Amino acid sequence: MSYIPPNAVTSPRRHFTLITVLEDGRTGDNPTGEGNVSVALGRWRSADGAEEPILGVRWNGDDANPIGNPQSRGLPTWFVVPRHLRRSILEHLVLSDAKEALVLEAFDDFGAGPDGTGWICDECGKPICKAKDGVVEWPGDKVTHWRGRRMRVVHHFLASPLRKKRGDAGCYQDGPDWEWDSLDHFLGPDGLMQLLALIADKEVPAEDILHTIQRLHLPRFERARPYIDSALADGVFEPNLAPGFYWQRDLELVLAHRRRPVDAGR
């Protein structure tokens, strides 16, 4: 290797601590990683001593420039990714279970849906702040009809606000024959594929799964969902997709409508 490897990039040491390299730039086409991008998880210490986890990126070096970029005073450094751009990078990485656990521990918002704001529990109405605190449940094979029943996103019983009142049932649906899986198993590309496979297997009505996909994977949908009907009633936007499906611009308008001040005298 003709350049300084990313796991040796630890400057500036007064402010930066490397936790782990998430991606070192090596690929099948470029097994050395020369000139490719590396991504790291670290901690940044500000001048007042406060620390926070950060995501760093850099270009690996090569024969002509062993230090790579960025660099400062002849030492290789990392570019600190702005918080609002972290998710876009992290969602494109293929991480081991151990590294994914480190990322989830460092960035609470990464495990809290496409907006980083979590989900609303279908049973208690309280927020599910992290994916590990939620489950997706649906009626099993022995449930003969679906009227009034939907695939639901609810708290895991360990995180349920109803645990004291309902015991281990927590926010789960009462009655036998309901199936469930951890909410985080339905996130990311593999999670999306698992939901799509349920449609192909006809285990769950497609309408329910498509609604759940929007909740777990589309930005703004879960935040806007409680206010869509009132926004439609107020003529905030004119939908031009099938019922229940909305463009991102439509959801932005719903959220803006929700935030608007109430007119004086109303």
The gap from C-alpha 185 to its chain's centroid, in whole angstroms, comes to 12
- Can you give the three-state secondary structure of 139-195, one letter per residue? ECCCCCCCCCCCCEEEECHHHCCCHHHHHHHCCCCCCCCEEEEEHHHHCHHHHHHHH
123 vs 221: CA distance, rounded Å: 19
Q: Which pLDDT value is given to residue 123?
A: 92
125 vs 128: CA distance, rounded Å: 9
According to DSSP, the β-strands at 37-45 and 16-23 are antiparallel
Q: What is the torsion angle, in degrees rounded to the nearest 10, for the CA atoms of residue 104, residue 109, residue 110 and residue 111?
A: 70
Q: In what order do the strands lie in the sheet with 134-139?
A: 152-155, 134-139, 178-182
Q: Which pLDDT value is given to residue 265?
A: 41
Whether the CB-CB separation of 119 and 153 falls below 8 Å is answered with: yes
**Annotated domain spans of the chain:** 6-109, 119-217, 223-266
- Per-residue pLDDT of the chain in tens (266 residues, 90 and over written 9): 589 999 999 999 889 999 999 999 999 999 999 999 999 999 999 988 889 999 999 999 998 999 999 999 999 999 999 988 887 888 788 888 888 888 877 886 666 777 778 899 999 999 998 888 899 998 876 555 555 557 999 999 899 999 888 887 889 886 667 888 999 889 888 889 999 998 888 878 899 999 999 999 998 999 999 999 999 999 999 999 999 999 999 999 999 998 776 543 44
264 vs 172: CA distance, rounded Å: 42
What is the amino acid identity at position 114? P
Tell me, yes or no, if the pTM score tops 0.75: no
Tokens of 211: 């609604």
Orientation angle between helical segments 206-217 and 188-200, nearest 10 degrees: 170
Other beta carbons within 10 Å of 101: 11
At 242 the three-state DSSP class reads coil
The radius of gyration of the chain's CA atoms, rounded to the nearest angstrom, is 23
Q: Which pLDDT value is given to residue 177?
A: 74
Q: Which pLDDT value is given to residue 18?
A: 96
Q: Among candidates 197, 222, 223, 227, which has minimal Cα distance to 212?
A: 222
Q: Which pLDDT value is given to residue 266?
A: 42
